[in-house]
Each structure stands twice: as structure tokens, then as C-alpha cells.
Amino acid sequence: MSLGDVLLIAFGLAMDAFAVSVCKGLAMARLDWKKALIIASWFAFFQMLMPAAGYLAGSRFSAFVASVDHWIAFVLLSLIGGNMIREFFHPDEEKANDDVSFGIMLPLAVATSIDALVTGITFAFLSVNLWISILLIGLITFALCVAGVLLGRQAGRRLEKYASMLGGAVLILIGLKILIEHLSGLA
């Protein structure tokens, strides 16, 4: 997997956290940089932790599934991306708030990084440098979440909806690219 692929995956994975960050920014009466950095830190940490955990779990099974790893990557990334696109058409109507307490941020960070866990499993089946990948995922997530809070203060809920659609489409396209490369013998 190329560095460009990892960057696209990082952006795709960060979209859920970005969308929640937009909501957090929308709920702020005024821009609070401390809260913006706390929000970004929570999401970036879990977006880094989950692929590492998925990679460890997936690497235990890689010898058994090497002949179908491209199908697994395609299916998992397509399911994640499809779910993100589904959320575009069926958004949950939750009341936005700017609370950054442990009890609020932990479930949000875990929920928005489940797809990163599954992506980490696919990393175990592909030729991926885990440390560079999780560092890029974390940095991109952090930057996008800070930007999300700032944009939330400016643009409102419309961005949240489209971030999920864009992230889902990117993940599906990456999965399709992996499948085509393997089936055509390019990988």
C-alpha cells in the first residue's frame, strides 16, 4: 500500500471525528481553544490506538487468509464506507453540546474510531508500515478535528453531513483499488 493510499485512508477515517468536531464547534457559545485541543486530542488518540489494536489482532490470522486478503480489505473498507454514506442519508438527530468531559468524550472517541479498528485489521493483511500509518492517521485526525471545531463555529451542520459522505466514498474507493490491484496482479 502506497503512502498516498495511507493518506487517503487517514482522511477517510478522520471524517467521523471531524463531523463530531463540527457539532462541538457549533454548540460553543464562543470559540474555546482549550476545548478544541481536548476534542482533537481525544479523537486523534483513539484513531491511532484502534488501528494498532486491529493490526495486532489481524496479524495473528494473516497466514490463514493471505490468499483472500484483498477481498477482506475490500469488503471491510466497503462496509465501513457504506455505513458512513448511510449515515449521510439517515443522520442521528442528537443535541449538540460542547461538553468535553471524560464521560462524554470517551464514548464519542471510541464510536468514531471503530472503523479505524477494522482498518487496522486490513493493514495486517497488506504491506503497510504500521507506525507511519498510525502517526499519519493521528496527525490528520488532530488537524481535521481542530479545523472541524473552527468550521463548526462558522458553517454549521451542513459540513457534518457531507464529511461523512466524503469519508465513506474515499474508503470504498480505496477498498476497490486494493481489490483491482490484487485481481489484476499489480500488487
pLDDT at 41: 98
pLDDT value at 159 more than 80 = no
Work out the mean pLDDT of the chain and round it to a whole number.
Answer: 81
- Residue predicted with more confidence, 43 or 89: 43
CA distances from 5 to 53, 85, 111, 123, 171 (A): 20, 20, 23, 11, 10
Sequence letter at residue 8: L
The confidence score (pLDDT) of residue 47 equals: 97
* Of 187, 183, 4, 174, the residue nearest 76 (C-alpha): 174
Q: Which of 14-23, 44-53, 74-83 has the highest mean pLDDT?
A: 44-53
Q: What DSSP line would sit under 120-132, residue for residue? A: HHHHHHS---HHH
Read off the pLDDT band of 92 (50, 70, 90).
Answer: low
C-alpha closest to that of 35 among 105, 111, 114, 134: 105
Residue 95 has pLDDT above 60, yes or no: no
DSSP readout, 1-68?
--HHHHHHHHHHHHHHHHHHHHHHHHH-SS--HHHHHHHHHHHHHHHHHHHHHHHHHHHTTHHHHGGG
* Per-residue pLDDT at 51 exceeds 90: yes
pLDDT of 137 > 80? The answer is yes
Sign of the four-CA dihedral 169, 50, 76, 126: positive
Contacts of 185 by beta carbon, 8 Å cutoff, 6+ apart: none
- Count CA within 13 A, CB hemisphere, residue 106: 3
Q: Does 77 score more than 80 pLDDT? A: no
pLDDT at 42: 97
Whether the predicted pLDDT of 143 surpasses 90 = yes
Which of residues 94 and 170 earns the better pLDDT score?
170
Amino acid at 127: S
- Would the pLDDT of 171 be above 60? yes
